[in-house]
Every structure is written in C-alpha cells, then in structure tokens.
Structure 1
Amino acid sequence: MAEPALPRGTFVLAVNPRAGRGRALAEAHRAADLLRTGGDDAVVLSAADLDTLVTMVRDRLRAAALSIRALVVVGGDGMVQAGLGVLVELAEQGVEIPLGVVPCGTGNDLARHLSVPLRDPVGAAGRILRRLDDPVPRRLDVGRVRFPDGRTRCFGTALCAGFDAVVNERANRWPRLTGPGTYLLAVLVEIVRLRTVAYRLEVEDAAGRCRPEDRAGVLLNVANTSSIGGGLPVVPGAREDDGLLELFTVAPLGRAKFLVLFPRLFSGRHVALPSVRIEQVRSVRVAAPGVTAYADGERLGPLPVRVDVLPAAVRILA
C-alpha cells in the first residue's frame, strides 16, 4: 500500500473568535477544509485576546517559515491589521509570506476593495488557492503610523483623525451591529457634536516635495484603499499598489451642510464638492489637540502621528 502523500506546505489561519458574532471560528474551519484540498495542510489558530493570538501567529510563522504557504486572517479589518503587522515585521527580517483574507467582521473594507467574496468563507478560500500560482503576484501597499514614543502600527485601509474617528469609536460600542448601517447610525448620533479641528500638517507630496500647512476641517483621512465604515467610498479612486496614500479632508461645515454631504459618500459623488480635497502623498504628519487616531477601525492613540507608505510591502492573495 502506498504511503499517503505528505502536505506540500501549511496555511496558517488566524481567527478572531468574536468576529462575525461568533461565526468566525466555524468559518475558519470551513475555509481550512477547502485549503487542504490542494494537498496542503491548514492550521487554525485562535486565542481569547488579540495580543496572545499575534504572539502565537508570529511564533508559528517564524518556526516554519519555509513551509508556510500563506497567512490567512479570518475576521474584520482589525484582524487584517494585526496580520499585516506580523508580515511586515517578518519581511524586514527577509522572510516573505503571502496574505489571504477570509472576511468575517463589521467593515471588511480591505476585502471589499480587493473584491474578496463576503459572507462566503469557501469562496474566499477558493480565491486564495487560485492566486497562489499567479505569474505576476499582486502586491499590497501598507500604511505605517509612527508615534512620537517610537511605536509603530501598520494598516491596510485608512487612518481616520476627525469626525470619522469619533464615529468609528461610537460604532465600536455596538458590536451586535455590522456593516454601513452601523456607521450611518453612529453619524446620526455624533452629528450634534460636530466640530472643526485645527490640523497642523507636514505633507510630502507625490513628487517628494515637503511643506508645512495649517488646515481646518471636520474630516481627515489618510487612505491606502477606497472605503471605510463598511463600504463608504471616501476615496473611490484609491489604489492599493501605487506606492502612495490619499490625503482626504473636508473643510469646515455646519451640521446642515454636512448632512447634505454625507449621503453622497455612499456613491462617491462627494469628490466633486468644493469642500472636499483629495491629494496623493508619500507621507504626512498630522497634529491636532484632543484628537484620537483610528486605523482599520481600531483605536491607535492620540495625535500627533506620522503616516507613510511601505510600497508593495506584502503579497496579497486576492
């Protein structure tokens, strides 16, 4: 009798067990079953808290880097952010491991941008398998946030540092709600506290020219991809592989005018409004009193921060 074939490699699936109202762990195992059909193994890693999970993933990838086919994150954009942080760290050490995404979170904005099937773990896993042998691998730029104390965080979608961050914080308090409806409801709750923020910016534009600038606004977003909040295309023309970020700001508006602008965000028609400004940048330092930055829906910390881009930092199986 012939011996069974040994696995060619291993997919490591990192799952946030609380994502998708508790569905994520079951969906991770469904995705793992499909990933094994090509002759590879698939290991599902989960933990009660994110720090423990990140440590488990990092140790597993380091210990068996040569046999890892991909890191597959199962969850929302916050889970993707954690995975990107590990992969960027390993890439800096000369170890490259591709990233796959099985979306199972609230926003899933990176998955939306990359056209990964939503609410379909088997379809998402099938996409990963088909992209393994692409002759021209797809690359993902990664945003990097640097704090004055030396801490850094990576992100895949966008950093928010205005009304959008306040809304994000409100939406995160409602874990039972998902998708753009959560974001819309949070907007309606927070609109009564809409305020203008006085930003101090240091911008390096796409041509490498640097300038300081004072800019007042109600929204500020440094975007790597097109949407936030579960599908709101704030920067509909953003590309994930152009080596640049998009600095998106909205000038001071009263509540009435803001409520006129907001519905246009759902279709991308806001970009034509005179209050909206979008420009490509290589990096930007953002400072403002009393403002907390968010990225990929996760709370990062108070401004100031410097945001730059790591071009083509991660291979993405999407």
Structure 2
Amino acid sequence: MGQSATTWATSILHDWGGGRALWQSGRMAKPRHIVVAINPNAAFGKNARVGDAVVAQVVAAGHEVTVCREPDYTSLRAATAQAIKKADALLVVGGDGMVSLGINLVAQTRLPLGVIPAGTGNDFARFTNLPLADPHAAVEHFLAALERGPKVIDLARASKDGEHRWFVCILSAGFDAIVNERANTMTRPRGKSRYTLAILRELLRLTPRTYTLTVDGVTTERQAILISVANGESMGGGMRVAPEASITDGTLDVFVLAPVTRRRFLWLYPRVFSGRHIGEPEVSLQSGKRVTVDAPGIVAYADGERLWSLPIDVEVVPAACRVLI
C-alpha cells in the first residue's frame, strides 16, 4: 500500500479502535506481507465494516497488506490462491466458511493462517480461544502470534472419487447436514431465521437412518439420527459435539446419536452446547484415524460447507497446518 492507503488505514483505525499508534509498539521490526481475505457477507452482512478495520490495523502495525475481497466464494478463493504465492501469512476475516477457505489453501504448506472471527458460528475461534465479538482484540492476538510464530495442528481430509477437501472442525452426516441441505434450497426467509425454519421442518420428519460406519477397518451398521466425524470439538456456533476432541492428538472422534423421539431430541439438544450430552445412553463416541460414512440420500457438510453425498472417506493428517493462534 502507498502513502495514501496508509493514511486511509490510519483514519479507519482511529474511528474503530481509538486511534492506537500501533506503529509505536515495536511491531515494525519485522514487516511481513499479509494477504487479508475478507468475506463481506459474514454474519449475513452485519460485519461488513470489520474487514476494512482489520486491514487498517494490520497496516498500522507496519505490515504490507494485499486485500482479497470478491462478490462470491469461488472468485474469492481464486483471487486468494493467486495472492498468497508471495505472502508471509494468510489472514481470513469471517466465519468458519472463511476458515475452510483458508485451510484448503494452506494445508501441507509452510504458509501460516490467521483468523479474525466475524461470522455467526466461529467454532474454530471458540475452541482455539480467539477473541470473539472483538475484532480489534482479535487482530492484536494475530499480530502477537505473528511475532511468536505459528502452531502446528491436525486437519481432517475428506475424500470421494478422487476429490479431496480439508476441514478443521467437524464433518456432519446426519440431521444437522439434512437441515443445512434444506436451508440451502430455501430462498426465504433471509438470514439466520432460514436455518431455524429448516430445523423446525426437518424435526417434523425426524427419522433414523441406516448407516454403514467403518472406523480403522472395522465396519458396523448403525441406526442413527446424527453421525459426525470430529477433528475439533464444536460446530454450529458452539455445539460441543465432541468435547474431548483435540486438533493436536492425531485422532478423529466419531459421534453417533442413536434413534430418539422428538421430545428426547429436544431435551438433548441444549445440552450439546455444554457437552452434557456425553454419558447419555443414546450417545456414543469412538476414536480412530480413518473413517468411512455411508447412508443413502445424505449430503455431508464440513465446517458448514457442502461436500458430497455419502459415502465419504475421512482421515486425520497430523501436523497438516500452521496457524497463528
């Protein structure tokens, strides 16, 4: 960025974060080239200004910034993939969809990934203790991590018919995936209420599915309402499906919810947010390194992003990603 861009960034920073003179903090000792990828539609557009403020704060800290901001996900991914070829770090601004974009670009490379949570779910930010609802603090956290150096985490790799996708949180292949698929076909209402309506519609049709589940070579048939393959502990904005899951232990946690009535499902649902569903008789967890999930008529989602119809193979890849957390 030139002088005029720096002046613009300083103005934005003053308006947003109290005008802190970050260039006086000593962080300019090691200027880096940071690519900042911004989702302008994060949190259904409620956080549209966050991206500009993040860029301003990073510039004020003495770093060179390339901004990637496109009208759609495909274009943003392509622009970011091009921009990071000469970058020192990738910083994504948005929710778990942006985390997904980031990890699918930097997995098994040396380029580190930073995250400014500005979405609705922000599950990666939750279980890595990034500041939530405070983008200024999140940028401060990122800048400090940039000086400390990256941490190495595991990723999960989903595969089907020669295609591969990385995820860091959880792959869903049950009721929650069905709700996502329903919501994505709805045009109204807009915003978060669309997902609430999708939940209510699918709850009326709550029916167990027959799954073929293979964990580390052992295959079983299961009747289930929910099956999730977890690398991290939560999804859906804090649902701690696998509260003991770790992104550094080299294993996946496989969560299964056996058939339940609608009333029992509604009793269990709020307990997932605190992890208190663990130990209930309908809930089972097992760990493994390779998992295959199969059932007819279900499209899987991972980190909130649509994958493919089942069957899908999943494997954990230890130390696959460098993150600035």
Q: State the TM-score, normalizing by the size of structure 2.
A: 0.85
From 244, 256, 265, the equivalent of 1:249 is: 256
Q: Equivalent residue of 1:132, what SS?
A: helix
Deviation per residue, 1:249-308 (Å, 9 max, x gap): 011112222222212112211001011011111010111111110111111120010011
Q: Name the amino acid aligned to 1:14.
A: A
Question: For the Cα contact (< 8 Å) 1:15–1:25, is it kept in 2?
Answer: no
The offset of 1:175, in angstroms, is 4.8
Q: Percent identity?
A: 41
Deviation per residue, 1:194-229 (Å, 9 max, x gap): 11111112211xxxxx21111111000001111111
Q: Equivalent residue of 1:166, what SS?
A: helix
**Is 1:50 matched with 2:73?**
yes
- What residue ranges of structure 1 are gaps of 5+ in the alignment? 205-209
Greater displacement, 216-225 / 236-245: 236-245
Q: Give the structure 2 partner of residue 207 of structure 1.
A: none
Question: How far apart, in 2, do the equivalents of 1:276 and 1:258 lie?
Answer: 11
From 28, 35, 50, the equivalent of 1:27 is: 50
Question: How far apart, in 1, do the equivalents of 2:243 and 2:196 lie?
Answer: 18
Q: Name the amino acid aligned to 1:143.
A: A
Q: Give the structure 2 partner of residue 72 of structure 1.
A: 91
Q: Give the structure 2 partner of residue 157 of structure 1.
A: 169
Q: Name the amino acid aligned to 2:73.
A: L
Question: For the Cα contact (< 8 Å) 1:183–1:229, is it kept in 2?
Answer: no
Aligned 1:118-133 pairs, distance under 5 A: 118-133=132-147
The offset of 1:33, in angstroms, is 1.8
Question: How far apart, in 1, do the equivalents of 2:199 and 2:279 lie?
Answer: 21
The offset of 1:185, in angstroms, is 5.7
Question: For the Cα contact (< 8 Å) 1:287–1:304, is it kept in 2?
Answer: yes
Question: How far apart, in 2, do the equivalents of 1:100 and 1:24 lie?
Answer: 18
The offset of 1:231, in angstroms, is 0.9
Q: Name the amino acid aligned to 2:166.
A: C
Question: Segments of 4+ in structure 1 off by > 6 A?
Answer: none
Question: How far apart, in 2, do the equivalents of 1:170 and 1:190 lie?
Answer: 8
The offset of 1:189, in angstroms, is 3.4
**Is 1:261 matched with 2:268?**
yes
- What residue ranges of structure 2 are gaps of 5+ in the alignment? 1-27
Instruction: Provide closer, same or farther for how the CA distance between residues 37 and 130 of structure 1 changes in structure 2, counting only shifts above 3 A.
Output: same
Please report the RMSD computed on the Cα atoms of aligned residues, expressed in angstroms: 2.1
Question: How far apart, in 1, do the equivalents of 2:266 and 2:235 lie?
Answer: 18
Q: Name the amino acid aligned to 2:248.
A: D
Q: Give the structure 2 partner of residue 236 of structure 1.
A: 243
